[in-house]
Amino acid sequence: MSDKTQAIAAEVLGALSNVKQIEAFTRRAGGLSLDEAYAVTAALRNLRIARGEKPIGRKIGFTNRTIWDEYQVFAPIWGDMYDTTVQSGAKTLALAPFCEPRLEPEIFFRFRDAPKAGMDERALLGCIGGVGHGFEIVQSLFRDWRFGAADCVVGGGLHGAYVIGSTTPVPQNADALFAQLSTFEIEILRDGEVVDRGQAPNVLDGPLSALRHLVELLADDSNNPPIQAGEIVTTGTVTRAFVIKPGERWQTRVYGLPLDGLDITFA
């Protein structure tokens, strides 16, 4: 890896560890391309493994086309998730470790078998052991959420934390679940009041389509490994992303999928 790649990875890790915002790399002299950014992803992963963290999955970001104009990012990106950033069933979560945190309600997949490039959505579902609903806490190392796509990538895919909620196993005959994954809706509430309602097609026409995009993207990536059996992949926000503050209680209601909603209070 180049000296530039290693230097950016070290700067990002320092910023994440110290909850410190930095200047966007795309606005610095020399800029930063997406290919360079994904090389940084690999270098950052090596640094995190070296300090004892274990990669356990991926997050896909910017799959929701309805927010592209807001963030000026017009294609999906991805980042790693770790055993230190993913937890199950949390009812409270402190926000102090995150820079300008926002909340996203998402659908995730837990892989039983490794998917392969060229698979369609139905074949991909056949590799999945469980479907679940989670909250992703995203953050921006770049002030006021102003960045380019490459900055999102080197910033860990904007990943801060992931809270796993209810899951359902994929049955042998998954016809009903396959259909539901392209039609479900999620309602999100803040302190008991509905603030948004999102539909499955917001996520690149459905979470399985978002997953297919990631599998194909990784097939062309010489720096990062393909998805492996046992990994969790979360597919992006179904609604808009919302600023979150200590003391707020956030909940979801899921319609059209056999999954319970989420309920979390931030400290």
Query: What would the pLDDT profile of 226-245 be if each residue is shown by its tens digit?
Result: 999 999 999 999 999 999 99
Range from 14-23, 61-70, 96-105, 241-250 carrying the lowest mean pLDDT:
61-70
Domain boundaries, the chain: 3-266
Distance CA 124, CA 113 (A): 9
Average pLDDT value over all residues in the chain: 95
> What is the widest separation between alpha-carbon atoms in the chain?
54
Tell whether the torsion through CA atoms of 6, 160, 120 and 126 is positive or negative: positive
Task: Tell me if the pTM is above 0.85.
Answer: yes
Mean pLDDT confidence for 126-130: 98
CATH class of the domain defined by 3-266: alpha beta
Q: What is the pLDDT of residues 65-76, one digit of tens each?
A: 677 777 766 578
Closest CA to 6 of 152, 255, 265, 223: 223
Rounded CA separation 153/109 (Å): 21
Q: What is the mean pLDDT of residues 40-69?
A: 90
**Identity of the amino acid at 239:** T
What per-residue confidence (pLDDT) applies to 74?
57
**Rounded Cα distance, 70 and 57, in Å:** 27
CA Rg, the chain, in Å? 17
Task: Quote the DSSP letter at residue 64.
Answer: B
pLDDT digits (tens, 9 = 90+) for 162-211: 999 999 999 999 999 999 999 999 999 999 999 999 999 999 899 999 99
Region 35-48: what's the mean pLDDT?
A: 96
**What stretch of H or E contains 14?**
helix 3-18
Which of 59, 65, 66 has the alpha carbon at shortest distance from 85? 59
| Nearest to 60, CA basis, from 217, 225, 243, 257 | 217
Length of the chain: 267
Phi-psi region of 247 (alpha: psi -120 to 50; beta: other; left: phi over 0): left
The token pair at 169 is 């196993």
